[in-house]
Amino acid sequence: MPNENIRQLEEKIAYLERHVTEQDKAMLEMADDIARLRREMLRFRERLSDGGAGSGPEERSPVDERPPHY
């Protein structure tokens, strides 16, 4: 009987250790996602503070673009 109790405790400990490891991995992934989202948010804020004008030609306003014959 005592051996059975020890075995059950060992199984529970092994399960909890695996669970903690999986949670650590998930936390690291979430931290990476949060960092990426913060960088994206800062870029969007910068674009908004610049009046929404981007650096690429597809993001420029047609009003600001000169006609091709000039």
- For 19-68, the pLDDT digits (tens) are 999 999 999 999 999 999 999 999 999 999 987 555 555 666 777 777 77
Helices (H), 1-70: 2-49
Dihedral through CA 42, CA 48, CA 49, CA 53, nearest 10?
110
Question: What gap in Å lies between CA 65 and CA 67, rounded to an integer?
Answer: 7
Question: What gap in Å lies between CA 33 and CA 23, rounded to an integer?
Answer: 15
Any idea which residue has 């990426």 for tokens? 36
pTM exceeding 0.85: no
Residue 12 CB neighbours (<10 A)? 10
